[in-house]
Chains A and B, each alone.
Chain A
Amino acid sequence: MISFEIPEKITNEIQMAKMVAESVMRQYSRYYDEHEHERPSEYINMMWPVMREQHRRRTEKLQQNGNGSGPKREGPDFSILRLIMMIEMLSWGDAGQYLCTPDPALGGAALEAVGTKEQKIRILGKFGQGEPKWGAMAMTEPGAGSDTSNIRTTATLDAESNEWILNGEKIFCTNGGLALDESDGFVVVWATVDASAGRSGMKSFIVEAKTPGVTVTKKEHKLGIRVSDTVAIVFDNARIPYDNILGSAEVIKRDGSTKGFKGAMATFDASRPAVAASAMGICRAALEFTRDKLAAEGIVVDYTKPKHQMTAVERDLLEMEARHKSAWLLTLRSAVLMAHGQPNRLEASMCKARAGETVTWVTQKAVELLGPMGYTREWLTEKWMRDAKINDIYEGTKQINTLIVARSILGYSRRELK
C-alpha cells in the first residue's frame, strides 16, 4: 500500500534533532568554518552521551544474545529511515559538524555488514563508555579514487606472530585523525592480500588507535565542511592482530568471485542514502533560507499561478523546490526499500547521484538569488554552497553512481560499460 506517512516516533525524534541543529550547530556554523581544524566540542559534547548510551545498550544486547539486533521483529525495520531523517536534520543544522558526530560512522557500517560478533563487541563496545570516540573508513589512495579496485596498500600475513602487516598510504579519510590520534577509535582499512587476485584479493581490516607504524601525515584544507577532519594516513609495517580482518581471509581467484569487495559494496547500500540525506539537509537549509529572505522582500511563489505568469525568480524558487523534492523522495525510497528488507543498490546510487547534483545546483542558485547578500560571509548561504559540493564527490562521484545506474538499467557488466 503506497503511503508517505512517517512513523510518529521518528517524527518526534527528528524534532529533538532539530533543537540540537538550531541551538548548537547553527550557532557555531560560521565559527568553525573560519577556524578550520578546531574541534566542535559543543556539538560533540552534546551528542556523545546519547551515542554512548546507544552503544552501551547495544553491546549489552550483543553480549546477552545472538547478533545484537534483538529478537527478530515482525514487519519493517525503520531504523534506517530514522537514521536518514536524523542525518538530514543534523545536516540542515551544519553538515560539517554532523560529520564530526562521535560514532563508528563508516567504519561501523563496514563492521556491521561483515564483522563477527566478537569484533563488534570488542570494537563497537568501546563506544559505550568513556570519552568520545570515532570510527572511520579508509579506501581512497592517491592512485585509487573512483577505481577502488586499484588500491595498492598491502596486507601480508606474518605466519609466525599471526599478525597482518600493513603497508601503504590512504588519503582523504574522514575522521581519520579523530579516530586514530584524538580518541581511542578505529579505522577500517582496505588493503589487498593478493594483488594478482584483483577485487577478490581486497580485504578490510580494523586498525585501532595507537597502533605502531600508523601515522596521520596530513590534514587537508578544504573548500567546505572545514570542520570535518580529512586526513592522509601512512602504514609503515603496521602490525595488527589476525582477528582484525573483516570477513574471510580466503582469496578465491575464480572469475566473478569478489566477496571481499562485495562487502564494501554492501556498506554503500546504506551509506549512499546517508550521504544523500546529508546533501538534502543542506539543500533544505538553503531552500528555506532563500524562500524566507525573498518572502521578506515580498517575493512569494503563488502555487496556484500558471508557470507562464511567474517571474523568473519565482520560477527559480519553484525549480529549487522541485529538484529538492525529487531528490529527497529518491532518498526516502532507497531507505524505505531497505526498511522493508528489499534490495536497494540501484536506488541507493540513484539517490546519491541526484542528491549530490541537486544540492550543488540549489545552493549555487541560492547564492545567486540572494544577490550581494548571498555572496557575503554574513549569511550562511555561501558556506552551504561550499559544503554542498562534497556530496557530489564522496561515496562515489556523481559519475560513478550514474555509471552504476546505467549498468543496472542496461543489464551491463563492468566490461561492457566502463
Chain B
Amino acid sequence: MINFELDQEQKMLTEAIGRLAKERMRKVFRDADEDGVLPPDVVKAGWEIGVLPTSIPEAYGGFGEYSVITGALAAEAFAWGDLAATLYIMTPNLVAVPLMLAGTEAQKEAHLPLFCEEALPKVTAALTEPVIQFDPRQLKTTAVLENDSYILNGTKCFVPLAEDAETFLIYANEADQTQAFFVPRGVEGLEIGQREKLMGVRALPTYQVKLNNVRVSAVNKLGGNEGIDFGRLLNHSRVALGALAVGMAKAAFEYARDYAKERVQFGEPIAHRQSIAFMLAEMAMDIDAARLMVWEAAWQLDQGKDATQATAVMKYYVDDMVMSVCDRALQTLGGYGYIREYPVELWLRNARAFATFDGMAMV
C-alpha cells in the first residue's frame, strides 16, 4: 500500500553508499575534476558495494533481485558524492540492465556472470551521437543484416571507459528501430577515438567511437531475432538519470544551505534574508518533488507498467530542476560560487549534462 519509506535493506544500502560518498568520493572529487582522473581505489570501493551484483538473479551468479527503485535509491546516494565517479561505477549497468531486461537466455548466461565478479567489468555502451538534433529513436548509426551478420556504420560519442572496454553494446538503427549489438574489442572497423573534452563530469573518461563496416554475427543482436523494445530501456535510463540528478542537486542544495548560515554580510548570516532563505526553500521543494517523481516512475517499472509517460514527465521536470537548483546554489555563494576552490561551479557544469545524457545511465 502507498508508502514512501525505504525498507530495511534499502536503508542499509543507501547508508553504506552515503558513507562512501562522504568519506571517499567527496574527498577526491574536486581534484579528480581538475586532473581528469579518478583515484582507482575510490572506483573500486564504489563497485565493491555491489549494487549491480545484488540486482542480478542467483541463476546468473548474482545474489539478489532486480529492483528499479533500489537502483534509483543507490544512484541518488552515489551522485551526492560525485557524478563522474558514479557514472564510472555505473558504467557496467549500461550493459547489464539491458541484458536483464531484453537479453535472450543464451545472452544472459554468457554475459551476466561477468557482472558478479570482483573487478569492475570492462564493458560499455554507445548510444549518443555527435549531432545537434539527437534522437535516440532515430539513430544515424545503421545496422544492416547481411547473411548471418550485421554490418554497423556510424559515429558515437560519450562512450564511457571505451579505451579499456572489452565489450561494447552499440545502439544502431535497423529498419527505423533502435536495436543494440554486442561488439567485441578488436573487431575490424571499430575505432576508438581521442578522449573527449567535456564541460563537466571531467573525471569520467569518455570517447568517440567510430564504426566503419563493423561486422558482427547476428546472434550478437541483443534480444536475438526479435530484438529489443528500446523505449522500455530508455525509460529505465531516464529513471537512473533522474535519480542521479536528484542526488547531485541535493549535494548542491545542502552546501548552499550550510554556507548561507555561516556567511555574514550586513551584520548577519545571509540566510536571515528571505531572498536567500526562500531560494533555499524552493530548492528543497524542487528536489523533494523530483525525487517523488523518480520514485513513481521507478515503481511503475517495477510493477511492469509502461512508464513512458511518467518518465517523460519526470525527465522534463528533473532536467530543469537540477539546473536551476545548482544555479541557485551558486548564486547563494556569490563570488565564491564562481571560484573553483568551491564545488558549486562543478555541480553547475555537471547539471547541464542531464538534458543531453539520455541513455548514459541505467538502473
Q: Do A and B come from one complex?
A: yes
Bound Cα distance from A325 to B312, whole angstroms:
12
* B135 and A306 form a contact (CB under 8 A): yes
Bound Cα distance from A406 to B137, whole angstroms:
42
Bound Cα distance from A339 to B135, whole angstroms:
43
Neighbouring A residues of B290 by C-beta, 8 Å:
326
Bound Cα distance from A164 to B10, whole angstroms:
55
Does A416 reach chain B (CB closer than 8 Å)?
A: yes
Contact of A409 among B134, B280, B316 (CB under 8 A): B280
Residues of B265-320 contacting chain A, CB below 8 A: 271-272, 274, 277-278, 280-282, 284-285, 288-290, 292-293, 295-296, 298-300, 308-309, 312-314, 316-317, 319
* B2 and A318 form a contact (CB under 8 A): no
**What range describes how many residues of B lie at the interface?**
35 or more
Q: A309-B135, A336-B2 are in contact. Are A322 and B277 (CB under 8 A)?
A: no
Neighbouring A residues of B295 by C-beta, 8 Å:
2, 4
Does A340 reach chain B (CB closer than 8 Å)?
A: yes
Neighbouring A residues of B136 by C-beta, 8 Å:
306
Bound Cα distance from A2 to B296, whole angstroms:
9
Neighbouring B residues of A81 by C-beta, 8 Å:
2
Q: Convert A307-342 into 0s and 1s, putting 1 for each residue whose CB lies closer than 8 angstroms to a CB of B.
A: 111000000001101110111011011001101100
Neighbouring B residues of A336 by C-beta, 8 Å:
2-4
Bound Cα distance from A415 to B285, whole angstroms:
23
Residues of B306-363 contacting chain A, CB below 8 A: 308-309, 312-314, 316-317, 319, 355, 358
Contact of A2 among B4, B234, B274, B288 (CB under 8 A): B4
Does B261 reach chain A (CB closer than 8 Å)?
A: yes
Contact of B133 among A308, A318, A327 (CB under 8 A): A308
Bound Cα distance from A403 to B314, whole angstroms:
27
Q: How far is the CB of A192 from chain B (nearest CB, A)?
A: 27
Bound Cα distance from A146 to B311, whole angstroms:
38
Bound Cα distance from A322 to B295, whole angstroms:
14
Residues of A83-140 contacting chain B, CB below 8 A: none
Bound Cα distance from A1 to B295, whole angstroms:
11
* A7 and B316 form a contact (CB under 8 A): no
* A307 and B292 form a contact (CB under 8 A): no
* A329 and B296 form a contact (CB under 8 A): yes
* A412 and B5 form a contact (CB under 8 A): no
Neighbouring A residues of B293 by C-beta, 8 Å:
322, 325-326, 329
Contact of A326 among B134, B231, B317 (CB under 8 A): B317
Contact of B296 among A4, A319, A337, A416 (CB under 8 A): A4
Neighbouring B residues of A327 by C-beta, 8 Å:
289
- The binding surface of chain A is classed by DSSP as helix
Bound Cα distance from A359 to B283, whole angstroms:
19
| Closest A residue to B10 using CB positions | A2
Neighbouring B residues of A1 by C-beta, 8 Å:
3, 5-7
Does A354 reach chain B (CB closer than 8 Å)?
A: yes
Neighbouring B residues of A339 by C-beta, 8 Å:
2
* A6 and B312 form a contact (CB under 8 A): no
* B358 and A410 form a contact (CB under 8 A): no
Neighbouring A residues of B134 by C-beta, 8 Å:
306
Contact of A406 among B7, B10, B274, B317 (CB under 8 A): B274
Neighbouring A residues of B271 by C-beta, 8 Å:
410, 412, 417
Neighbouring A residues of B314 by C-beta, 8 Å:
322, 325
Q: A3-B299, A329-B296 are in contact. Are A416 and B3 (CB under 8 A)?
A: no
Q: Convert A334-366 into 0s and 1s, putting 1 for each residue whose CB lies closer than 8 angstroms to a CB of B.
A: 001101100000010010011000000000000
Bound Cα distance from A378 to B66, whole angstroms:
52
Q: Which of B5, B133, B289, B358 has the most CB of A within 10 A?
A: B289
Q: A2-B299, A309-B133 are in contact. Are A402 and B282 (CB under 8 A)?
A: yes
| Closest A residue to B317 using CB positions | A322
Neighbouring B residues of A337 by C-beta, 8 Å:
4
Does B1 reach chain A (CB closer than 8 Å)?
A: yes
* A406 and B278 form a contact (CB under 8 A): yes
Does B140 reach chain A (CB closer than 8 Å)?
A: no
Q: How far is the CB of A80 from chain B (nearest CB, A)?
A: 12
Does B69 reach chain A (CB closer than 8 Å)?
A: yes
Does A304 reach chain B (CB closer than 8 Å)?
A: yes
* A406 and B5 form a contact (CB under 8 A): no
Does B257 reach chain A (CB closer than 8 Å)?
A: yes
| Closest A residue to B285 using CB positions | A350
| Closest B residue to A81 using CB positions | B2
Q: How far is the CB of A113 from chain B (nearest CB, A)?
A: 24
Residues of A1-54 contacting chain B, CB below 8 A: 1-7
| Closest A residue to B67 using CB positions | A2
Q: A2-B69, A309-B133, A412-B271 are in contact. Are A402 and B2 (CB under 8 A)?
A: no
Neighbouring B residues of A329 by C-beta, 8 Å:
289, 292-293, 296
Neighbouring A residues of B6 by C-beta, 8 Å:
1-2
Bound Cα distance from A405 to B283, whole angstroms:
11
Q: Which of B69, B274, B300 has the most CB of A within 10 A?
A: B274
* B308 and A330 form a contact (CB under 8 A): no
Q: Which of B277, B282, B296 has the most CB of A within 10 A?
A: B277
Does A213 reach chain B (CB closer than 8 Å)?
A: no
Bound Cα distance from A331 to B277, whole angstroms:
22
Q: What are 22 A-B contacts defined by CB distance under 8 Å?
A: A2-B5, A3-B1, A3-B299, A303-B309, A304-B234, A304-B308, A309-B133, A322-B293, A322-B317, A326-B290, A329-B289, A336-B3, A402-B282, A405-B285, A406-B274, A406-B280, A410-B271, A412-B271, A412-B272, A412-B277, A417-B271, A418-B274
B-contacting residues of A (Cβ < 8 Å)?
1-7, 76, 78, 81, 303-309, 318-319, 321-323, 325-327, 329-330, 332-333, 336-337, 339-340, 347, 350, 353-354, 399, 402-403, 405-407, 409-410, 412, 416-418
A-B contacts besides A5-B1, A333-B4, A403-B277, 15 pairs, CB < 8 Å: A1-B5, A2-B4, A304-B231, A304-B312, A306-B134, A322-B316, A326-B289, A329-B289, A330-B285, A350-B285, A353-B285, A354-B289, A403-B278, A410-B271, A418-B274
Which 9 residue pairs across A and B have the least CB separation, nearest first? A326-B289, A329-B292, A303-B312, A406-B281, A406-B277, A322-B317, A405-B281, A1-B7, A322-B316
